[in-house]
Every structure is written in structure tokens, then in C-alpha cells.
Structure 1
Amino acid sequence: MPSVSMRHAVRAIILDEGDRILLCRFAIPDPAGTVVWAAPGGGIEPGETPLGALRREVREEVGLLIEADPPHVWHQEVVAAGHAAGYDGVINDYFLVRTVPFEPRGELSDDELAAENISELKWWSLPDVCGYHGPDLFSPRDLAGLLGTLLTSGAPTRPVPLGL
């Protein structure tokens, strides 16, 4: 059986005091014009720990410095050709980060963000996510349900396994 090459990534569920979640709008050119709102984060580089990667990605993309070790709340594995360029799928580990409201602006320039397919950063309330009926997708697809459970029950003792 051929080996499967998975992209290991970390993502931050950043919630402010009003329980709004900060999401990045990823405009992915292939498949044609897919737009996905997802938590900030990205790939773990060689020699990097997951929390080290999380701190770097969040600082670069949205400008938030994560000092404490946030709880690991969700674990997602998606094996699907084409889901991540050059890989057979992705493994996303999500960490819960609580913060005061802030204006997201990371270290990356607009051009660098565009190179990562990020076209916008936006705070969303749970009702906004639940009530969204536009063409864009959320990742994970059941973000509204997962976020509702997280807000109601708090961080789980073990990461919750997710689907697509």
C-alpha cells in the first residue's frame, strides 16, 4: 500500500470576550474559486513543535501573541487528494485561544497574505455563523455546531475528532 503524505497544521480558535471567533477568508483558486472561512494557522515546519507553529502562524497572520499553552480542543484528519496542494490530505489540530478584542493585523504584508490565499480577517458571532447563507464555506463544515458546543461546554478534556 502506498504511503499517504499528510500536511500537519495547527489552527487557533481565537475567541474574544464577546465569544466572537476570528476567521481568515481563504480564496483558493483551485478548485475554481473556492472560498473558505477558517481559523488562522498553518503548517508545522520541520523542527517546530505544534505550539511553536501555532504561536508563529497566529503572530504572522493576525498579530496576536500567544503566551500561555492553549488547550487542544479539536483534531481533524482529511484524506482527500487535492485538499492540500502537494499532499494526500491534512491533519489540523485546533487550540482554543481566549483574548480581548483587537484589530487583527499580523506581521505579513497584504501581498504575503495574498500568497497564502488570505483575503480578509473578520470577527464572527455564533449567530452570524449560524445565519450565514452565502456562497462561502466554513472549515470545519460544522463550525456553527462545534463552536456552539465549545461555548456552552468549554474546552473538552481530550481533543474532539472532526470530519471535513
Structure 2
Amino acid sequence: MSSPSLRLRHSVRAIVLDEDDRVLLCRFAIPEPAGTVVWAAPGGGIEPGESPLAALRRELKEEVGLDLTTDPPHVWHREVVAAGHVAGYDGAVHDYFLVRTAAFTPRGTLSDDQLAAENISGLRWWHPSEIAAYTGTDLFAPRDLATPLRELLTSGVPARPVRLGR
């Protein structure tokens, strides 16, 4: 558990899975260090006065064009305390929700320029085996994404959100 004196940015993310168990990830081109690419679940920060599920609905609509009609289950919780992880904060708290949907071509309401301002440079469906076998220089968030994803697909929704590492 994080220290109450730390300034952590609270965010929500969606593990969007299609009928073939592929997961939709956003390609984040991080400016510092230059050239860093991280594939992460769509989502983002919770605005003041906004509930986590309202933030999730807004972020999914903006980034990938998905309208949530139900309240998805909360499956993972991840805290990252690291200088520089989120500008202006000591780190971030990410809560992940499982969203099952038919495959679709992701295109949110944000323009390409607005996505670029959020460092998003692409969207892609990944099969878990592709993530597990990946040997390139891009990173995944969390770094061991293949492991909790495999567990989620094998065991189903956990009774309580699983705490993930960095």
C-alpha cells in the first residue's frame, strides 16, 4: 500500500477482450527517455468529481470508440511509485476492469492530434501468445502482462482484484 503523503494519479484501464481472447492495447510513444514505446490497456486518469466507472466510459469512448453499457468487473489493481512515471505526481494507481466485446476496428472520438498529445500512436489487438513471445524493444504495462492475462483467461474474474507488479 502506498504512503498517504505520496501524490499518486488515479486512473482506470480496460482489459478489452474480443471473442478470440485478443486484448486491445494502445501504443504509447513516451517522450522520456526518447524512443520508449509501451503497449498498455486503454484508459486514463480519473478527473475530479468523476467516478472510476464514469472515467472508464469516457476514456474508452475517447480512445477506442467503445460504448460501455454495463459495469465491468474490477479485476486488477496496480500501484507504481516512481519519479517521472506521471508528470507532476510521485506515481500512479491503475485499476483495471474486464470488458468483453466482439472484435471491432478501434477509433475513438479523439482526433489523431489529440491522441498524439496523450502519446498514443496506435491501437492493436494482441493475442496473449504474441505478448508472451514478444522479443522486441517495446515494453508492456505491466511488464509481465502475459502472466496476469493468462491467469485471467484461465481462471476467470477473481473474487477480489489481483494486485499486480510494475
**1:133 matched to which residue of 2?**
135
Q: Structure 2 matches for 1:7-156, cutoff 5 A?
A: 7-156=9-158
* Identity %, equivalent residues: 71
Aligned pairs, number: 164
Deviation at 1:31?
2.0
Which stretch of structure 1 is more off in the superposition, 24-33 or 50-59? Answer: 24-33
Q: Residue 163 of structure 1 aligns with which residue? A: 165
1:3 Cα shift? Answer: 2.2
Code of the residue aligned with 1:135 in structure 2: it is T
> 5+ residue gaps in structure 1?
none
Q: Deviations over 1:74-123 (max 9, x none)?
A: 00011111111110000000000000010000000000000000000000
In 2, Cα distance between equivalents of 1:126 and 1:41: 19
For residues 130 and 70 of structure 1, the distance between their equivalents in structure 2, rounded to whole angstroms, comes to 25
TM-score (norm 2): 0.97
Deviations 1:3-37 (A, max 9, x none): 21100000000000000000000000012221100
Give the TM-score of the pair, scaled to structure 1.
Answer: 0.98
SS for the counterpart of 1:114 is helix
Unaligned runs of 5+ in 2: none
Q: Give, in angstroms, the shift of residue 133 of structure 1.
A: 0.6
Q: Structure 2: how far apart are the matches of 1:155 and 1:50? A: 18
